[in-house]
Structures are given as C-alpha cells and as structure tokens.
Structure 1
Amino acid sequence: MNLLLFFILGLLVHFVFFVSIFDIYFTSPLVHGMTPQITPLPPPARRLVLFVADGLRADSLYELDENGTSRAPFIRNVIMHKGSWGISHTRVPTESRPGHVALIAGFYEDVSAVAKGWKENPVEFDSLFNESKYTWSWGSPDILPMFAKGASGDHIYIHCYTAEKEDFGAQDAARLDTWVFDQVKDFFQSAKSNQSLFSKLNEEKIVLFLHLLGIDTNGHAHRPSSREYKDNIRKVDDGVKEIVSLLEDFYENDGKTAFVITSDHGMTDWGSHGAGHASETLTPLVSWGAGIRYPQQVSTQLFDDEFLKEWQLENWTRRDVNQADIAPLMASLIGVPFPLNSVGILPLDYLNSSDLFKATSMLTNAIQILEQFKIKMTQKKEITLPFLFTPFKLLSDSKQLEILGKARSYLKEEKYQDVISLCKELIHLALEGLSYYHTYDRFFLGISVVMGFIGWISFASIMIIKSHSSLTRRVAKGKKDKKKLHHLLPCSFVVIGVLIAFFLLIQACPWTYYIYCLLPVPIWYAVLKEFQVIQDLLALLLTFSGKHSVVFLLVFTLGIEILVLSFFYRYMLTAGLIAFACWPFFTQLWIQAKITSLGWTFFSLLLAVFPLLPVVGREPNITLVVGAGLLIFLISLSSFVYLWKSKRKYICENLPVHLCQMVGILISTYIVNSTHSSLLQKQGLPQINQIVSWTILAFSLIVPLLGSTIVFQRLFSILLSLMSTYLLLSTGYEALFPFVLWCLMLAWIRVEQEVLQQSGIPCTQKLTSIHFACNTDITQVRQLHLDDIRRSFFFVFFIVAAFFGTGNIASINSFDPSSVYCFLTVFSPFMMGSLMMWKILIPFVLVMCAFEAIQVTTQLSSKSLFLIVLVISDIMAVHFFFLVKDYGSWLDIGTSISHYVIVMSMTIFLVLLSGLAQLLTTKKIKLWGKTKPHFM
C-alpha cells in the first residue's frame, strides 16, 4: 500500500475512534415528550428572587475575616434569624454554563452540549424560567440568552451588559455587579409609572434572576485570597440587602417573596475552575422568605468537618443539597411545574409548609422523574429487537404501579412520612433506570471500537514488517499456494458486513453506529489477507532464541505502563527520566562517548525536576518568567558569538534572523513584566503591548523559515521564535521548561548518532554542518532495527513529558486566565482556549522537530519510524479505552474520559504536527541575497 494513502486512511480511522467516545460517553441524557407535573396545592410564594454570585466559594462567604467579622453581614444575619443555609455540591465540569443549567433546569448538562456553545442552547431543554409566568433577568451576555432562546412564548426578558465589560484586567470587576443592582433599581422605579409592567410584576409565578459575575472575574484576575475578591463579596452583600429592601417596599411586605442566593461553581486558590477540587465544587446556598424554613439551633450536627467551627456556624442547622436539587425547590415555592428534564430531588428540609404540601410535592417530583424513565425505556424498546431487549428489572411496570398506588393510598390516609419514603425510593430507582437506558448500547459500541483498535494496530505492525523485513520475499512465494483462501476471504467479510448492516438497520440505529460497527470489517480483512506474513512471523519468533529480545519486550511493556501511569501520577515521568539518565551507563555509550552521555544524563535529570513541581497556575511568579527570558537571551547571544567565530560563512546569511529573534525575546520579556505590572495597578492591558504580542505570535512560525536549514541553526531558530510566544503565555517556572526540553532534545540527537555508529553505520557529520533538506529515504539505506522501537518509544515519552511536564488534567481543564493577559483580558472562552492550546503545543513542536532531526542525522525513515510511533500511541489508547469509567465520582469519570481523548488527540495531532515540523525544518523563504544550494 502507498504510504501516503496509508497515512490518510490512518488519520480517518483515528478520527472515527476519537469521535466514538462522544457517542459512547458524551450523549445527551435529555428526552422529550413528558407531561408537565405540578403540585395541585397553593404555593407558599407568589414570586422568587434568585441571586447567583458567579465563582463564589462557600468558605469565602461563610468564614469570618481576620477581625472576626463576616464579609457578608446581611446574609449571615439571614442564616441566624430568617432562613436556611447549607452547601450546594456541584458536579464536574465546574463551569458557568453547566452550573447554571443545573441550578435553573435541574439536570447536569452533558459535555458535548458544553462544547457546542456557551451563549445558545445546543439542545432544547425545559427550565424554571420557561415554566414561570414571567421572568426578568439581569447580568452577563454569556449566561442569560441561553435560557431565553428556545423558550415557549416571549415571557423571558433579559437585560445584559456588553461583553467588553467582562475585562479581567481593567478596573475593579465589582462594577459588573453594581451595574446589575442599579438596573434592577431603575427597573422597579420605572414600574411604578408603567401600569402594564406594574401589573405583570404583581402576577404570581414570576422569577427575578440576578446574575452577578464580578466575584468570578475578580477571582480570575486577582485570586480568591485577594482584597478585590473579598471586597466584591461585601459589595454583593450590600447589593442583596438593598434589593431585598426595595422589593419589600414595592410589594408592601406581603410576605409572598422567596429569596435564594447561591453560586454556579467555586474557584481554586490560584483563580481557576473547571475540575473537581473541593474549593470548586462546594458552593453556598442561603434561602429565606415565603415557604422557607426558619433557622434551627442545634448542639450537634450530622456534618463532621472543621468548616462549621471555622465559620462559627456549628449551632445553626446546615442543610446540604446537590446543585440540581435547587431547581425543584424553586419550582415548588412558586407553584410552577418542575422542569421536565430535572433530575433534582426536592430538599424538603428547606420548606416551611404543611406535611401535606411536602408529601404532595414529593409525589409530583417522583412522577416527573418517572415520566423521563418511561419515555427513555419506550424509546430504547422501540429500536431494539424484542429478543435482545433487556428491561431494567428493578423498576418494572408492576413495580411502578405498586409504589404509586401505595403512595396515593398513604396520602389519603395522611401517612405523609410513608409517602415521602416511597417517593424517594421511586426517584432513586427511576434515576438508576435512566442511567441504565442511557448507557444501554455502551458495551456493544465499546466492543466494536476495541475490535477496530486491535485490528488497526495489527495492520500497522504488518505494514512495518512487510516494508522492512525479509518476510516480503516469503509472502510473494506463498501467494500461489493461497489463491483459494484469497478468493474465500473477501466473500466471507462481505457477508459479515452485510449481516452487521442489516442488524443495525432493523434496530433503527444512528448512522454513526454503522461506522463504528462496520469499520473493523475492512481492517480485519486487510490483516487476515496477510496471513502468510503472520504465519512466517510466528514461526520466526518460535525458532528465534534471543534472550535479548525477551528482555527488550519486558522493558518495552514496562515503559508503556509507565507512560499510562504518568497520566495519573506525574512523578512517573520523573521515574522514567531518571531511568533515561542511567541508560548510557548500562551500554557502550559511556565508554565511547562520555561527554555526550554526561550531557544526556544532566538534562534528563534537570527535566525530571519539572513533574515534581506544583502544576502551573497556582502561584504566578513573573520574576521567573523575566529570568527565563533573560537567560535565553544571554544563551542566544553566546551562541551568536560562537557561530560568528566558527562558521562565518553561515552567520552572514542568518545575521538578520538571529538578531530579530534575540530582540523578540527581549521584547517578550519586557511585555510580560509591563503587562502584569499594569494589571496589578488596575490600569488594564496597554494597547501597544497587546498589538506587539499578537504580532510576535503571528511571526513566530514564519521567522525560522528565513534562516539556514542547518540542523543546529534551524532548531535554535525554532526555539527562539517559539519561546518569544511561550514567554508571553507564561506565569511562572514553566517559562524554563521548553528550553530545558530543547537542550535534552539536542543531547538526544547526539546520543542517537553515537548509537548508530556503534551499530556499524557511519554518522560523522556534526549538527552544525548537516542540513534538514538532505533527508533521504531509509529504504535505500537500511532496514529498521530493534533499536528503532526504542527511538520511537523515546519520542512518545518526550511527547507525554511535554504535555504533563508542567501540568495535569485538572490544570488543563481549568487553566489560569492570567496566562493570556498579554493578548486579551476581555472574557472570550474560545480565543483564550485557542491561545492555551498553542501554549500546550509549543513543547510538542520542539520534540517533533527534534524527531525530524534524528531521522535526518541518523538516516532513519521518517515514514516507517512514525508507523512505530502510531502503534505505541494506539496501544496506550487501548489502555485508556478500557480505563474509561461510567461510575464513581464525576471527577473520576471526567478524568478517565479526558485521558482517552488526550491520547487520541495526541495521535491525530502527531500526524498533523509531523507536517508542521517538516515545514519548519526543511522549508526556507528567500527575502534577501542569493541562497546557496545546500549539499552534504
């Protein structure tokens, strides 16, 4: 097979494997067609006011300051004298959109929906706002529109400020909350003279929603421990107090207003959110007013933690809920139907109402969730063959009727506690059944994907063997003896494919199922078609008595497991790098190339320090970034002097490029320091800094193409250009990481040259004389050796080290926004995410370019060697596919899926980055003078 065609097919196959995880694990849990359920009793409140303090941590609100006083005296007074309080436990990802969906719609949004959009509904869902008579909302343009779009009717009114106001770097972000409070005051003032608005506001079943983004913005910009974050809490407390007083005056203290204040997510100490740290998942919940239970003083509590003592709230009953439970609570308070897709359980402890109301509301809650279960079961039953359908046995039709019958009977007999117990049992069974049917096809699809994976790995291995072993001749000789098999094989696989397609067709499966289930058929056909190669390989392995090969296989397997474990424990990378550092001392390298071996050992140990450091983002230190910039400038200056003395004929050609890059490093260093100083003084991002930062980013991939293609000079040019951008995206010690990684890559190139010389292949050219442009095809030089598997493994290890050297899964999901402040400070999730992705890819590019250099300097085949890399990556991907969880904590589930997605993304990116590395290393743009032809 043509290698270009093979790589195109490989890219498509891996893309299918990558997308499969979204159909298996990231499908929307929503169903439609349920009947709205409402409690048939008068509600305690006519209106509800919801305050969401975006990014507010529970401890930041409840704890006392250094003077022993509360930052939120009004809310603390409510806790002690007027209402109920507790912790709202959020789920991963702890982001604004899924947090608000859980609060207002009552369900936990799937990750695919989050990825489809932040300002619009990617999927249609019901919400408290949609069920209300009228809803007025004020706040961020990133949150409010998603609850208005798709709602039935035009009863949801939104008032947003412009996106430009969400600036992390300008003035105090508390002005965002002040804007909301001022708008609400003006709104009610205007209502006094607007009869139509006045009558609407006096209707029942209305909601007022105040989204307060200032705390989140100040937390990102200044950290939750900052004065700005804590002062913002005080301003929110003052604002809430003013709005409560305003509403009491407007409604003449009719006692029919219920108030809820909570948060969508918390925030880490280093100013980020998105993962599952307690500081991100523990948010406050305080409620008071109509229908809410008054404070209850107790001597002991169920919660055995230190928080209560620190907050000095141990004598007031704490009532914890899951975040989705708040939606049914709010719905029951104003008497609207529970949101159709809600999976929240009504927290009865918050209600100050009769036992009849509580029992009836709980029954409504149970029927509402049961409706979703019945729709989900019906949908799955309709598309599954009767003899293959396995119902959820714990909640059969008879079981449903039995529980509902008993509950209604107990309700008539006024056995309200029995009703509540039965309804809770029914809810838990229905939720378990929803999960059962939601994951019904998971095993079937998983088997199909794994079969495709194993088939692809086998096929890629056969391609390597056929291209670079003596088995090729045996295969040609054996083809005549296998003609019958070759005629029978395609017919058999065609029949298998038709049967699979027919099976999927009669079950009305989605079109993506056809791809996942039919893809293994041609892959395994291609594998079994090479039966003679497999047979000869097995015979060769059985007759080969090589102790060295067995040891090599064991070490290779151990290396794969270390790579897998490094995704869970970063220090495993340190263990691997220490092993790399010791490797020359167990080979002939130490004897024949002491200086090269010492360089390799030193930089391996130096790089091994980084995985032991805290993940980037926790404690920004711009001094380290400035120091890294100055260090790289001095090294580039000394390199410039050295090249001038030793290679004068080349320095003339590269003089403008080298000087330009040195100036770029100095400018980047200055901009980082200048920008962060300006932000600390609350003067915002200087426009000139922003323009220069984007300019440096734009030219970072072009400038290296202007210089020489000599290996060392081109690699050094790539480092300087990429480092000028990396410095702008750095906040601490990670600014040193690419440079140390690059030094190790140079040592690796020299080590591989020495190893190749030991194997009898001469490789005497130095890195300062060999050109990238002289790449030759390995098939004309030599075949692959066992040592080439080690080179490929080294490459994969360095790619993983480049990814996790300064961070982990959580730090990637919840990056520090201050990393992009040199480019923008106005909130823009996709632009910020793109910049952070480029920051992650820069170390990748350095490793990939070094890999290209190894292929040139050691006369290896870039195509064949890359095949081995893909096989290693796919073996890791199979590991993570089996390690994906659909149980346990949401953090465990999300992390396990993230591992698989990262490995699959890495595999696809490596194919694309290989092309980028070849472009960066081999191409040259001529702008001045005459370019001399490059010959070895």
Structure 2
Amino acid sequence: MKMMTFFIVGLLVHVVFFLSIFDIYFTSPLVHGMTPQRVSLPPPAKRLVLFVADGLRADSLFKPDDNGTVRTPYLRSIIEEAGTWGVSHTHVPTESRPGHVALIAGFYEDVSAVAKGWKENPVEFDSVFNESRHTWCWGSPDILPMFAKGASGDHVYTHTYPPEREDFASNDASRLDTWVFDEVKAFFSAAKNNETLLNQLHEEQNVLFLHLLGIDTNGHAHRPMSNEYLENIGLVDKGVAEIVTVMDGFFGHDGKTAYVFTSDHGMTNWGSHGAGHPSETLTPLVAWGAGVQTAQRAISQKYDDFYLKEWGLETYRRVDVNQADIAPLMSSLLGVPFPLNSVGILPLNYLNNSQHFKAESMFANAIQILEQFKVKMAQKKETTIPLLFTPYQPLTESKQMDFVRHASELIKRRQFDKAIPYCEGLIAQAMQGLSYYHTYDRLFLGSSVVLGFIGWTSYVVLFILKTHAGLRKPPTYTHMVAERSLAWTFLCLGLFVALFLAVQSSPWTYYIYCLLPVPVWYAVVKEYETVGGLIRSIPSLPLSQCFGYFLLVMFGIELLVVSFFYRGMLTLGLILLALWPVFSGLYNKAKFRSVTWMLSCLCLALFPLLPVVGRDPNVNYVICAGLLTLLMSSSYLWWSWKRSPVIRDRWLFISQIMQVMLCAYILTSTHISLQLKQGLPLFNQLISWITLASSFFVPLLSSTRLFHRLLSILLSLVCVYLLLSTGYEALFPPVLSWLMFAWISIEQEAMNTRGRTNRTELSGVDFAENIDITNIRQLKLDDIRRSYFFVFFIITAFFGCGNIASINSFDPASVYCFLTVFNPFIMGGLLMWKVLIPFVIVMCTFESIRVSTRLSSRSLFLVVLVISDLMALHFFFLVKDYGSWLDIGTSISHYVIVMSMTIFLMVLSIMTHILTSKRILFGQNRKMHLR
C-alpha cells in the first residue's frame, strides 16, 4: 500500500473514530412532539422580570467586603425581608450560551450544540420566552438573538447594543449595564404615550429580560477581585432597585410582578470560566415579588458549608437549586406551560402559594417530563426490532398510567402532602428513563467502535512486521484462493450488518461505525500467513530484549495516561528520560551532549509542577522568554558566523531576532496601555497581526540546512507565542526547543554508536535533499523508543503549561495584543494556535530526527500511530456518563484530545514537511543551493 493511500485511509478511519464519540455521548437530548403542560389554577404573577448578571459569582454577591459593608444593599434587604435566596448550581461547561439555555429553556445543552453555533440555535428548543405572551429583552447581541429566533411567532422583542461595545479594553465595561438600565427606563417612559405598547404591557404572562454583561467583561479584563468588578456589582444592585421602583410605579403597585435575579455562570479568580471550579459553578439566585416566599428565618440550615457564615446569612433560609430548575420556577409564577424540553424540577420552597397550587404544579412538571420520556420510548421502539427491544421496566406503559392515575386521585382527594412527593418520585423515574433511552444504543455503538479500533491497531502492527521483519512472501495459488473465500465471507457479513441496521431504520452514521470493522478485520485476517511467519520466527528473536521494550513502552503509555489526570507524572517521566544516556551507555561516549540533554529535561520538568490557572499576568516572564530566545539564537548565529554562512541567511536571522525583541516590547506596551485604560494601540495591533501572518512563510526564506531551518521556525513561532502569553508559559517554547535541539544531537550520537560507519554531521543535513532510497534503513527496536519519545513530547507540549481546566477556561487576556472586542471564534482560533505552536516545534524536531537517522517517515509514523491508538483505546474505556459533570466532561475530553492529537499529527506532518523542506527563492537565487 502506498504511503499516500495509507495516509488517507488512516485519516478517514481516525476521523470516524473521533466523530463516533459525538454520536455515542454528545447526541442532542431534545425530542419533539410533546403536549404542553400548564397549571389550571390562576398564577400569582402577571409579569416576570429576569435579571441575569453575566459572570457573577455567588460569593461576590453575598459576601460583605473586608470592612463588613454589604456591596449590594438592595438585594441584601430582599434576602433578609422580602424574598428567597440560594445558590444556583450550574453544569459544565460553564459558558454563557449553555448557562442561558439552562436558565430560560430548562435543559443543559450538549457540548456538540455549543460548538455548532454561538448566536444561533443549532437545534430548535422551547423556552419560557417562547411560552410567554410577550417578552422584551435588553442586552448583549451574542445572547438575545438565539431566543428570539427560536421563538414561534413574533412576540420576543430584542434591544441590543452594538457588538463593538463588548470591548475588554474599555475604560468602564459597566456602561454595558448602564445602557440596559437606561434603555429599560426609557422604554417604560415611552410606553406611557404608546397605547398599543401600554396595552401589551398590562397583559398577563409577560417577561422582561435584562442581560447584564458588564460584570463578566470587567471580570475578564480586570479579574473578579478588582475594584472594577466589585464596583460593577454595586452598580447592578443600584440599577435593579431603580428598575423595580420604575416598574412598580408603572403598574400602580399592583403586586403582580415577580422578580428573579441570578447569573449564568461564575468566574475564577484569574478571570476565566468554562470548567468546573466552584467559583464558576456556584451562582447567586434571589427571587421576590408576586408568588415568591418571603424571607424565612432558619434555626439550622440544610447546607453546612463554610459559605453561610462567611456571607453572614446563616440565620436566613437558603434554598439551593440546579440551574435548570429556574425555568419551571418562572413558568409556575407566570402560569405559562413548562418549556417542553425542560428537565428542571420546580423548587417548591420558592413558592408562596397554597398546597393545592404546589401539588398541581408538581403534577404538571411530572407530566411534562413524562411526555419527553414517552416520545423517547416511542422513537426507540419504532427503530428497534421488537424481539430485541428492552423497555425501561420501572416505567412500562401500564406503570405510567398507574402513576398518573394515582397522582390525579391524590390531588382530587386533596391529599396534597402525599401527592407532591409522589410526583417527585415520578419525575425521578422519568429522568432515569430519559437517560436509559438516550443511552440505549451506547453499548452497541461503543462495541462496534472498539472492535474497529482493535482491528485497525492490529493491522498497523502486522503491516510494520510484514514490512520490517522480513515476513513478506510472494502470494501462492492456495493463498489467493483462501483470500477470495475470506472476501466473500466478509462481504456477506457486511451485507448482514447493513440489513440489520436497515430493518431498525438506523441513522446513516450507524452504518459507518458498524460496517467499518468489517473491511478492517478482513485486512487483518488476510495477513494470517504473516502471523504464522511471526510465530515460526519466535525462536530466533531476541525475546528478552523484545519483552523488555514491550514492558517499557506499556509502562510509558500508562504514565502518559495518568499524566492526563496528574500533570506531575510528566515531571517524573522527564526525570526518567534525563537518565536515559546513563542507562544506555551514551554518557560515557558523548558527555557534553548527554549533560545538555539531562539539563534540558530537568528544566522542562519544572513546568508541569507550576500552576496552570489562577495566575496573574506577569509580563516580566514574557520579557525573560524573549531574552532567553535572544540568547539561544545569538549563540547559534555567532557559532554559524564563524562557518561563513550565506549572507542572506545571516541577515534573515538578525531580522528575526529583532522581531522577537519587538514582540516582547509590543506585549509590554499593550499590557501597560490596558492597565492605564487607554485601549489597544493601533500600532501594536497591526504589528501583532503582521507577525502572525508572516510566521507561516518567513521560515521558508531560510536555508533548508537542518539547524538553519529549525532556528528560523523557532524564532517565527516564539514571536507569535510571546504575543499570546501572559505569564511564565512564554518560557515554555524556548526551553522545549532547547530540549528538542539536544534530542536531535543525542539521537545522532546514538545512531553513530550503533555501528554506523558513515557518520553524518548534523550541520550538513539538508531537509530538501532527495534521500537515496538504498540508504533508508529498516526499523530497529531503538526506533520504538524514538517513537515513544515523540509521543511523550507531544503530550508534554500539550500539558506542559495547561490541563483540561485551563484549556476549557477561556481567558481573553491572552489575545489582547490582537483584539479586545469580544469575538469568540477569532479569540478561540488564536488560542488554538497558541496550543498548537509547541506541537509544531516537536513535529519539526521529529522530522529532523527522521532525516538525520535515515529512516522513512512512514516507518516511524506507523509506530507512533500504534502508541497513540493504544492511548486512545485506553481513554475510550475510561469515558463515563455518571458522576459529576466535571468528571463526565473530563473523561470525554481526554478521548477527544487523544483522537484529535492523532488526526492533528497526520495533518501536521504534511505542514511540517512543507515548513522544513520547502523554500521560497527569488530571481537569480532560484538555482542557489545553500551550504
């Protein structure tokens, strides 16, 4: 099989394995066709006002300052006198979009839906806004439109400010909230002279939504402990009090307005959100007004955490909820149907109403969730062969009718105290049933993917053995007959699988996952003679050496797997790698190179021990990184100067070194400008974007000599990395590059000590030269170690300065040299490139080792593929759908990261080949061959 064909097939196979996780774990929970459920009794409120303070932490609202002064006197008075309060527990990922969906629609949006769209709905869903008579919204253009576009009819009206206002470099981001409050006050003032609007406002079942983004923006820009963030909270408290006064006056103090104040997510001390830290998942909830229970004194609290005493609220009853519970709470207060896709449970302790109303509300809540269960069950029953269908036993059709009938009878007999817990039990059963049918096909699909995974890995191993172990034999007539029989057998098997899926009306993606193992295993079984040859050659193999390598590689893979959970394992791994020259005997033959390797390993080993998040920006580290890069590159430039390099390369290096100094200055200048609240200087922004664009082609101007090209690539990448750094992580690429140069050097020495007589100087290695195919050697056991080193350094490049939490946490401070106006896609793209830069450094190094050791790229890459696939298979079994949302999200993230890494390595290998071996020549220099 040609390399390109193998590459394409391998890429497609891994894309299928990667996408399978979304069909298995990230399928949308939404179903359609349910009947709306509402309470027949009159609701307590005619209108509801929802305040969402974006990015507000629970402790930031409830906790007094150091002097004991409450920064939110109005909301504090509500908690102590007029309303009910608690903590709303959000789910991971703690991003604005899923937080608002949970608040207003009552379900937790799956991660794939978050990735498909930010402002628009990737799936249609019902919401409190959609069920209302009229909804008026004020706030961010990133949040409001998705609820307006998802509503049926034309009754959700949005008022948004221009996107340019969402500027992290703004002098005062609290003006976003001031704009909302001013617009609302102007709206009510104008409504007095607009008869149509006046009539609409006095109708029932109206919602007014105030999205307050200033706190979130100030938190990102200045951190949650800053004066800007804390003063913004006080401004919001004052604004809420003013809006309540305006509305009460407008509606004549009729007592028919309910108020809900909450947040979509919190924020870490370092100004990010997206993971599962308590500062991100604990948000405030305060409700008051029509139908809401007034403040209740509590002798003892259900919650025994330390927050109550710290907040000074231990004597006021605290009622915690899940974030999705707020949607049914608002529906109950307004008397509108519960959102059809809601999985929230009505928090009865927030209601100030009769037991009859509470029982009817819980019954409607239970039936609404049961309706989703019925649709899920019907869908699964229709697409499953009757003989194979296994219903959810606690809620069979007869048991459903018994549940509903008994609950109705309890309410009719006015046994409300029994009806309420009975309905809660029905909700619990229906929720478990929803999960059961939602994951009904998970075992079947997972088994198919694992079968394909094992088959693919087995085929790659056999392909390596067949190519490099001398097991390739010419086909015989008997072999061809047997192969033809195998082809017919597997063809019939594939037709049977396809027929089985067709009978069940399975989605088209199921055909891919279930049919993929068929050709893969056919390719494996077809190599039965290779397996036989391997078995026959066992007596002649160095079994002890092979077994030792096998144990070391398996130990190394387990170490990498554990490092996904505990980054400190990378430090242990780097310490063990530092000792490799001693155990291999290289130290006695190449002491200088061995010492350089050891020192660089130990220096890099410090990074996994450093905190990945929670650090304040410190441009001094970035300046040190620039100086370190300057020192390394100047040393090489001085060394190569004595060897009389071509003048053009010398000046190219000098210009790149000056660019590193310029980028360090740009970052420092930007940081100072933002601290002084003078915004992002236009010159700095232009230089940053020019640096980013030029980094892709400037290395192509340099010589293709190994160290010349690697140094040029390093300087270009470090320039961009400096602009995207905020602290010590800027030191990571220079230190990593030092280790990579040491790796190239010591690998060359390892090759020379293994019996190669034609010693090749590294300075003479050219990426662009055509390697004589007769000079390309076969794989050796030592190449397994090289491949493992590569995988280890790839994982280190990924987790050296980060972990799952830091990758999920979105910190816009890293991109302030490029833009400060909120744009999630551009910012996300820049941060992704920052993550990939260490990858590229390691990839270029691996390409250098391949060229310098005269090994084909296919051979090394196949070994790397086996190691990474074994890791991916390991993580596939570690994926779980139980426990906390952080545990679930982390386990899935691990698999996605490893699979993405494998696919990225395939794609980056092409990019690396271009980056190292291609060159841009101009005019007469086109025929120049640099030495």
1:625 counterpart residue number: 622
Residue 723, structure 1, aligned to residue 718, structure 2: yes
- Aligned 1:820-899 pairs, distance under 5 A: 820-899=815-894
Select the residue among 529, 541, 547 that pairs with 1:550: 547
Distance in structure 1 (CA, Å) of the matches to 2:777 and 2:476: 26
Relative to 1, partners in 2 of residues 1:927 and 1:170: Cα closer, same or farther, differing over 3 Å? farther
Distance in structure 2 (CA, Å) of the matches to 1:763 and 1:123: 63
- Residue 769 of structure 1: CA displacement? 2.6
- Residue 615 of structure 1: CA displacement? 0.3
Select the residue among 699, 704, 710 that pairs with 2:705: 710
Segment of structure 1 superposing worse, 330-339 or 404-413: 404-413
- Residue 773 of structure 1: CA displacement? 1.4
Distance in structure 2 (CA, Å) of the matches to 1:501 and 1:121: 33
Select the residue among 651, 662, 667 that pairs with 1:667: 662
1:225 counterpart residue number: 225
Distance in structure 2 (CA, Å) of the matches to 1:908 and 1:426: 45
2:731 counterpart residue number: 736
- Aligned 1:497-512 pairs, distance under 5 A: 497-512=494-509
CA contact (8 A) 1:258 1:291 kept: yes
Distance in structure 1 (CA, Å) of the matches to 2:810 and 2:614: 7
Select the residue among 746, 753, 768 that pairs with 1:773: 768
1:597 counterpart residue number: 594
Segment of structure 1 superposing worse, 149-158 or 46-55: 149-158
Relative to 1, partners in 2 of residues 1:191 and 1:779: Cα closer, same or farther, differing over 3 Å? farther
Residue 607, structure 1, aligned to residue 604, structure 2: yes
Aligned residue for 2:70, secondary structure, equals coil
- Residue 289 of structure 1: CA displacement? 0.3
- Aligned 1:522-533 pairs, distance under 5 A: 522-533=519-530
1:317-354 CA-to-partner distances (Å, cap 9, x unmatched) read 00000000000000000100000000000000000000
Distance in structure 2 (CA, Å) of the matches to 1:138 and 1:175: 13
CA contact (8 A) 2:612 2:803 kept: yes
Distance in structure 1 (CA, Å) of the matches to 2:614 and 2:304: 31
Distance in structure 2 (CA, Å) of the matches to 1:602 and 1:775: 35
2:451 counterpart residue number: 451
Aligned residue for 2:768, secondary structure, equals helix
- Residue 544 of structure 1: CA displacement? 3.5
Segment of structure 1 superposing worse, 681-690 or 780-789: 780-789
- Residue 638 of structure 1: CA displacement? 3.3
- Residue 587 of structure 1: CA displacement? 1.5
2:897 counterpart residue number: 902
1:861-908 CA-to-partner distances (Å, cap 9, x unmatched) read 111111111111111110011111111111111111111111111101
CA contact (8 A) 2:129 2:135 kept: yes
- Residue 928 of structure 1: CA displacement? 6.4
- Residue 552 of structure 1: CA displacement? 1.4
- Residue 656 of structure 1: CA displacement? 2.6
Segment of structure 1 superposing worse, 853-862 or 609-618: 609-618
Question: Which residue identity does 2:643 align to in structure 1?
Answer: K
1:592-649 CA-to-partner distances (Å, cap 9, x unmatched) read 11111111111001100000000056322111111211232233233322221x221x
Distance in structure 2 (CA, Å) of the matches to 1:846 and 1:839: 12
1:399 counterpart residue number: 399
Aligned residue for 1:772, secondary structure, equals coil
CA contact (8 A) 1:775 1:856 kept: no
Select the residue among 491, 516, 541 that pairs with 1:494: 491
Distance in structure 2 (CA, Å) of the matches to 1:785 and 1:311: 65
* Backbone CA RMSD of aligned residues: 1.3
Distance in structure 1 (CA, Å) of the matches to 2:107 and 2:536: 58
Aligned residue for 2:477, secondary structure, equals helix
1:409 counterpart residue number: 409
- Residue 545 of structure 1: CA displacement? 5.5
CA contact (8 A) 2:38 2:335 kept: yes
Distance in structure 1 (CA, Å) of the matches to 2:113 and 2:609: 35
Distance in structure 2 (CA, Å) of the matches to 1:121 and 1:707: 47
Question: Which residue identity does 1:681 align to in structure 2?
Answer: L
- Residue 485 of structure 1: CA displacement? 1.4
Distance in structure 2 (CA, Å) of the matches to 1:269 and 1:775: 54
1:745 counterpart residue number: 740
Distance in structure 2 (CA, Å) of the matches to 1:96 and 1:420: 33
Select the residue among 809, 815, 821 that pairs with 1:814: 809
Residue 156, structure 1, aligned to residue 156, structure 2: yes
- Residue 539 of structure 1: CA displacement? 2.7
1:587 counterpart residue number: 584
- Residue 391 of structure 1: CA displacement? 0.3
2:643 counterpart residue number: 647
Question: Which residue identity does 1:552 align to in structure 2?
Answer: Y
CA contact (8 A) 2:269 2:614 kept: no
1:220-279 CA-to-partner distances (Å, cap 9, x unmatched) read 111101110000000000100000000010011100000000000000111000101000
1:177 counterpart residue number: 177
1:358 counterpart residue number: 358
1:387 counterpart residue number: 387
Distance in structure 2 (CA, Å) of the matches to 1:845 and 1:837: 12
1:535 counterpart residue number: 532
Aligned residue for 2:905, secondary structure, equals helix
Instruction: Give structure 1 regions of 4+ aligned residues with deviation exceeding 6 angstroms.
Output: none
CA contact (8 A) 2:130 2:150 kept: no
1:58-87 CA-to-partner distances (Å, cap 9, x unmatched) read 000000001111111100010001000000
1:101 counterpart residue number: 101
Distance in structure 1 (CA, Å) of the matches to 2:212 and 2:448: 47
Aligned residue for 2:777, secondary structure, equals coil
Question: Which residue identity does 2:423 align to in structure 1?
Answer: C
- Aligned 1:53-202 pairs, distance under 5 A: 53-202=53-202
Question: Which residue identity does 1:106 align to in structure 2?
Answer: G
1:203-231 CA-to-partner distances (Å, cap 9, x unmatched) read 00000000000000100111101110000
Segment of structure 1 superposing worse, 368-377 or 650-659: 650-659
Structure 2: where are the runs of 5+ without partners? Answer: none
Question: Which residue identity does 1:534 align to in structure 2?
Answer: V
CA contact (8 A) 1:617 1:731 kept: no
Distance in structure 2 (CA, Å) of the matches to 1:830 and 1:538: 54
Q: How many pairs are equivalent?
A: 931
Aligned residue for 1:555, secondary structure, equals helix
- Aligned 1:428-439 pairs, distance under 5 A: 428-439=428-439
Question: Which residue identity does 1:159 align to in structure 2?
Answer: H
1:349 counterpart residue number: 349
Distance in structure 2 (CA, Å) of the matches to 1:921 and 1:633: 22
Distance in structure 2 (CA, Å) of the matches to 1:5 and 1:188: 67
Residue 684, structure 1, aligned to residue 675, structure 2: no
CA contact (8 A) 1:61 1:72 kept: yes
Distance in structure 2 (CA, Å) of the matches to 1:321 and 1:209: 20
Aligned residue for 2:763, secondary structure, equals coil
- Residue 154 of structure 1: CA displacement? 0.3
Segment of structure 1 superposing worse, 619-628 or 104-113: 619-628
1:410-463 CA-to-partner distances (Å, cap 9, x unmatched) read 112211110001100000000000000000000000011111111111111122
1:775-822 CA-to-partner distances (Å, cap 9, x unmatched) read 526664321101111100000000000000000011111132100000
Distance in structure 1 (CA, Å) of the matches to 2:633 and 2:775: 38
CA contact (8 A) 2:703 2:930 kept: no
1:822-868 CA-to-partner distances (Å, cap 9, x unmatched) read 00011111100100010011001110101111011111111111111
Distance in structure 1 (CA, Å) of the matches to 2:772 and 2:389: 56
Structure 1: where are the runs of 5+ without partners? Answer: none
CA contact (8 A) 2:48 2:330 kept: yes
- Residue 2 of structure 1: CA displacement? 1.1
User: Normalized against structure 2, the TM-score is what?
Assistant: 0.99
Question: Which residue identity does 1:231 align to in structure 2?
Answer: E
- Aligned 1:311-390 pairs, distance under 5 A: 311-390=311-390
Relative to 1, partners in 2 of residues 1:929 and 1:707: Cα closer, same or farther, differing over 3 Å? farther
Question: Which residue identity does 1:782 align to in structure 2?
Answer: R
Distance in structure 1 (CA, Å) of the matches to 2:709 and 2:114: 41
Residue 209, structure 1, aligned to residue 209, structure 2: yes
Question: Which residue identity does 1:523 align to in structure 2?
Answer: V
- Residue 541 of structure 1: CA displacement? 3.0
Distance in structure 2 (CA, Å) of the matches to 1:308 and 1:420: 29
Distance in structure 1 (CA, Å) of the matches to 2:370 and 2:758: 73
1:731-754 CA-to-partner distances (Å, cap 9, x unmatched) read 111111011111111111111111
- Residue 147 of structure 1: CA displacement? 0.4
Distance in structure 2 (CA, Å) of the matches to 1:840 and 1:562: 22
